Amino acid sequence: MERAPPIDVWDVATFDPELRSVLDARARVIRDYRTESQRLFREREAQTLRGPPAHNIHGPSFSALREEIAALMAERTIRAWHFTRLAEHEVATVRKNGLQPMTLALIDERLEAVRQAGLIDAQLAAQLYEASPYHRQIEGSRENRIWLTAQPYAIDDSAVEELLDRWGGESISFVHREGATLERLMQLGTPLVIEVALPMRITTRVEEAATNVLDAFAQSIGVDGGWGGGADMVAVEPIAPEWILAIHREGEPSFEGMGRGYPPAFPGRDW
């Protein structure tokens, strides 16, 4: 049986008939809630002295709808984006094995692999491992996660720029803010955007995806303040190789145009 294409949370044209039917039937709830939110915001901004924020009378109905959409999204797959910088052998590994949730053991394996490839020496590998913030977690708060985004950010966007311009990502490079180590990390690998069909059942961010869907639908029916931007997504299980839709590489039109022409239906961040 052919798989349904993944949903773009920012594009109502990709919403399947069941999801679209629920949204169409609840359009009045979305419109009333958003319109009242805008009215309350303007009213509060005009106040000289501010008390507690006023209650949106449509809040309970909207919250119930968001829960309903979240339940639907939990059974669906969305298109997501992983911004990274990888050595060539790592690109081959992703194509073969998919993406794996990051752990200290995997950090050690990555460093040993780049050492064996002759890209760094043993001293730098040991230094990078010992400096990893994954040694200083609070109750494993960093372990077993793959971070993605629900919208395709432009490659010079501050949200993803550091992920692309240095090898290692949050687990290895982000603690090195200057000096020779950072310069070496910026010489390693190639900037990539990995396009993924992400099953929401392996994530912790179903509610955020539901909010994005509601934002996009609100925008489509002309409600002010509809789109709030794509949420971060967190996968807590491996992303299988068959879920990798594309690997966009620096220099390719799709990479250079990410979020600004690719994919063609994405209207850009400031819509």
Residues 134-146: tens digit of each pLDDT: 888 766 667 899 9
By percentage, how much of the chain surpasses pLDDT 70?
A: 96
- pLDDT(155) > 70: yes
pLDDT band at 50 (very low <50, low <70, confident <90, very high): confident
- pLDDT(49) > 50: yes
Residues 19-41: tens digit of each pLDDT: 999 999 999 999 999 999 999 98
Q: How confident is the model at residue 1, as a pLDDT?
A: 42
Q: What is the pTM of this model?
A: 0.93
CA distance 177 to 270: 30
Residues near 15 by beta carbon (within 8 Å), at least 6 away in sequence: 7, 23, 213, 217
CA distance 246 to 211: 26
Q: Which of 62-71, 120-129, 171-180 has the least mean pLDDT? A: 171-180
Residue 164 Cα to chain centre, angstroms: 14
Q: How confident is the model at residue 91, as a pLDDT?
A: 98
Q: What are phi and psi of 156, to 5 degrees?
A: -100, 10
Helices 206-220, 17-25: crossing angle, 10 deg rounding? 60
How is the chain classified by DSSP, letter by letter?
-PPPPPB-TT-GGGS-HHHHHHHHHTHHHHHHHHHHHHHHHHHHHT-SS--SPPP-TTHHHHHHHHHHHHHHHTT-EEEEEEEEEE-HHHHHHHHHH-B--B-HHHHHHHHHHHHHTTSS-HHHHHHHHHH-GGGG-STTSSSSBEEEESS---TT-TTTHHHHHSTTHHHHTTT--SSHHHHHHHHSSEEEEEEEEEEGGGBS-HHHHHHHHHHHHHHHTT-TT----PPEEEE-S-B-GGGEEEEEETTSHHHHTBTTTBSTT---TT-
Task: Identify any residues that bridge with 102 across adjacent strands, giving them in sequence order.
Answer: 145
Residues 186-200: tens digit of each pLDDT: 999 999 999 999 999
Region 85-113 average pLDDT: 96
- pLDDT(122) > 60: yes
Region 231-254 average pLDDT: 97
- pLDDT(268) > 60: yes
Q: Which of 43-52, 99-108, 203-212 has the least mean pLDDT? A: 43-52
